[in-house]
């Protein structure tokens, strides 16, 4: 059984990567899964991340494989090769202790934090579009040798973390699961989802696709809390949910989490929603441009691919919109709104999800964005 990370173990793991002199360790993680320390010494600092053998936010009752450390480290390395500079540097991995040492992105902030504060960060949405194109196509049969691709798939079997997503994203929000967290004021909204046979059917179909469409090595949890940003520099962190799955799950997560931001700022009326609209267009524009650039010349169906990816993104965005309102893990963009606008925003997110999941296929990025962010409360 690997040791649990405490100050002294964090200091020991970090020591080879710090300067000379005394060092200090500070626990900084507030995530649902892992224990995270910043260790500083000799004018340098690093991040030490440890994966306990259970889901941190639930405890022993939800055991989790520590193989997620290997998966995260290998995904970081591979995505870093495909999208240079878009992930933090991996400095060391200690599988016996279920821990890794990472570059400390000190000058960066979590993108969600900046979005909530209405702080514009340049170039990040475009970089995220290119990151998605390069990591998704670059780990797919579109660009990989067939035998290499099959070998890659054997390294990213991630049953425990896939089980979290299968339960918390595609199942629990449509049932009376104990894990759901619903504001008292949103109880009727949650009940309306449980009683909506069409939404339950659509979510169940997407669960099937999530489990069976082995398209690329996806990040698996690409919300705006998994992206660190500084002007002109986006870095994607925390790929412990990585597995060979549907590409649209990653892109749909980006879309839904930008939609939460847009809806929240529309409700606040502070003028930042227009900036978020631009982020979505920059994201999808750069993604499309990069796909066309790296697409294999001898397979001329890149426009069909992009249109299918847009449709899949819309449908996975819908399930993310629902689960962050009535499921276990919420988003601060919506939860931090004043009561009346929070309830309206929650209704709007679910209305958007219904439109994206049950309406006609989206025809364009504008159609996707308009349905994700401007659905009226019924
Ligand atoms: C209890 S785990 C809840 C969520 O946190 C992670 O970041 C994933 O989004 C997961 O669904
Ligand atoms: Mg995460």
Q: How confident is the model over 203-247, as pLDDT tens digits?
A: 999 999 999 999 999 999 999 999 999 999 999 999 999 999 999
Q: Which atom of ligand 1 is nearest to the CA of 168?
A: 11
Q: Which atom of ligand 1 is nearest to the CA of 165?
A: 11
Residues 91 and 180 in one domain: no
Q: Is residue 42 over pLDDT 70?
A: yes
Whether the model pTM is above 0.85:
yes
Contact assessment for residue 33 and residue 240, using Cβ atoms and an 8 Å cutoff: yes
For residues 142 and 133, give the distance between their C-alpha atoms in angstroms, rounded to a whole number.
12
- Ligand 1 atom 4 nearest Cα: 329
Residue-wise pLDDT for 284-296, tens only, equals 999 999 999 999 9
Which three-class secondary structure state does DSSP give residue 205?
Answer: helix
Which CATH number is 276's domain given?
Answer: 3.90.1200.10
Residue-wise pLDDT for 309-329, tens only, equals 999 999 999 999 999 999 999
Is 12 domain-assigned?
yes
Residues 96 and 125 in one domain: no
The 10 Å Cβ neighbour count of residue 284 is: 25
Residues 91 and 196 in one domain: no
Establish whether residue 221 lines the binding site of ligand 1, counting it when its CB lies within 6 angstroms of any ligand atom. yes
Q: Is residue 1 over pLDDT 60?
A: no
Q: Average pLDDT in the 147-170 region?
A: 98
The domain boundary, picked from 88, 103, 118, lies at 103
The domain boundary, picked from 71, 103, 135, lies at 103
Is 152 domain-assigned?
yes
Q: Average pLDDT in the 332-346 region?
A: 97
- Ligand 1 atom 9 nearest Cα: 221
Establish whether residue 275 lines the binding site of ligand 1, counting it when its CB lies within 6 angstroms of any ligand atom. no
> How confident is the model at residue 100, as a pLDDT?
97
Establish whether residue 328 lines the binding site of ligand 1, counting it when its CB lies within 6 angstroms of any ligand atom. yes
Q: Is residue 2 over pLDDT 60?
A: no
Residues 87 and 114 in one domain: no
> How confident is the model at residue 347, as a pLDDT?
97
Q: Is residue 124 over pLDDT 80?
A: yes
Q: What is the 3-state secondary structure (H, E, C) of 30-46?
A: CCCCCEEEEEEECCEEE
Residues 59 and 115 in one domain: no
Residues 322 and 207 in one domain: yes
Q: Which atom of ligand 1 is nearest to the CA of 238?
A: 7
Contact assessment for residue 310 and residue 285, using Cβ atoms and an 8 Å cutoff: no
Is 166 domain-assigned?
yes
Q: Which pLDDT band holds residue 257 (cuts at 50, 70, 90)? A: very high
Phi, psi (5° rounding) for residue 27? -75, 125
Residues 316 and 255 in one domain: yes
Which three-class secondary structure state does DSSP give residue 119?
Answer: coil
Which three-class secondary structure state does DSSP give residue 235?
Answer: strand
Q: Is residue 21 over pLDDT 90?
A: yes
Residue among 52, 225, 328, 330 whose CB has most ligand 1 atoms within 8 A, to mutate: 328
Domain count, the chain: 2
> How confident is the model at residue 116, as a pLDDT?
98
Is 1 domain-assigned?
no
Q: Average pLDDT in the 131-152 region?
A: 98
211 vs 378, more confident: 211
Establish whether residue 168 lines the binding site of ligand 1, counting it when its CB lies within 6 angstroms of any ligand atom. yes
Is 139 domain-assigned?
yes
Percent of the residues in the chain that have a pLDDT greater than 70, as a whole number: 99
> How confident is the model at residue 6, as a pLDDT?
80
Is 378 domain-assigned?
no
Percent of the residues in the chain that have a pLDDT greater than 90, as a whole number: 93
Q: Is residue 305 over pLDDT 80?
A: yes
Residues 350 and 322 in one domain: yes
Which residues are near ligand 2, the ion (C-beta closer than 5 Å)?
A: 221, 238
Residues 63 and 203 in one domain: no
Q: Average pLDDT in the 253-282 region?
A: 98
168 CA → ligand 1 middle, Å: 8
Residues 213 and 310 in one domain: yes
The domain boundary, picked from 103, 125, 148, lies at 103
> How confident is the model at residue 30, as a pLDDT?
77
Is 292 domain-assigned?
yes
Residues 310 and 350 in one domain: yes
> How confident is the model at residue 259, as a pLDDT?
98
- Domain of 181, in residue numbers: 109-373
Which CATH number is 11's domain given?
Answer: 3.30.200.20
Is 280 domain-assigned?
yes
Residue-wise pLDDT for 54-103, tens only, equals 988 888 888 999 999 999 999 999 999 999 999 999 999 999 999 999 99
Q: Average pLDDT in the 343-348 region?
A: 98
Residues 208 and 325 in one domain: yes
| Assigned token pair, 223 | 């919300």
């Amino acid at each position: 059984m690997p040791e649990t990370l405490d100050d002294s173990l964090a200091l020991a793991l970090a020591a080879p990567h710090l300067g000379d002199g005394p060092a200090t360790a500070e626990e900084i993680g507030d995530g649902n899964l892992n224990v995270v320390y910043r260790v500083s010494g000799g004018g340098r600092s690093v991040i030490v991340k440890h994966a306990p053998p259970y889901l941190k936010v639930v405890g022993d009752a939800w055991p989790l494989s520590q193989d997620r450390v290997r998966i995260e480290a290998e995904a970081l390395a591979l995505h870093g090769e495909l999208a240079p500079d878009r992930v933090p540097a991996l400095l060391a991995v200690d599988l016996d202790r279920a821990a890794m040492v990472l570059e400390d992105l000190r000058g960066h902030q979590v993108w969600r934090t900046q979005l909530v504060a209405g702080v514009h960060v340049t170039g990040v949405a475009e970089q995220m579009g290119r990151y998605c194109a390069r990591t998704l196509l670059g780990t797919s049969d579109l660009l990989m040798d067939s035998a290499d691709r099959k070998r890659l798939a054997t390294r990213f079997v991630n049953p425990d973390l896939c089980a979290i997503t299968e339960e918390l994203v595609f199942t629990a929000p449509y049932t009376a699961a104990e894990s759901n967290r619903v504001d008292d004021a949103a109880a009727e909204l949650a009940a309306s989802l449980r009683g909506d046979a069409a939404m339950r059917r659509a979510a169940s179909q997407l669960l099937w696709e999530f489990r069976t469409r082995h398209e690329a090595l996806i990040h698996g949890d690409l919300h705006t809390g998994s992206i660190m940003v500084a002007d002109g520099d986006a870095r994607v962190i925390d790929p412990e949910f990585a597995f060979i799955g549907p590409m649209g799950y990653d892109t749909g997560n980006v879309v839904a989490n930008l939609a939460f931001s847009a809806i929240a700022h529309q409700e606040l009326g502070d003028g930042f929603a227009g900036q978020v609209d631009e982020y979505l267009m920059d994201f999808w524009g750069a993604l499309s441009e990069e796909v066309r650039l790296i697409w294999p010349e001898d397979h001329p169906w890149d426009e069909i691919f992009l249109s299918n990816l847009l449709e899949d993104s819309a449908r996975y965005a819908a399930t993310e919109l629902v689960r962050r309102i009535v499921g276990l893990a919420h988003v601060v963009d919506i939860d931090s709104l004043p009561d009346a606008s929070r309830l309206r925003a929650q209704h709007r997110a679910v209305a958007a999800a219904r439109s994206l999941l049950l309406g006609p296929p989206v025809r364009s990025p504008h159609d996707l964005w308009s349905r994700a962010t401007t659905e009226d409360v019924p």
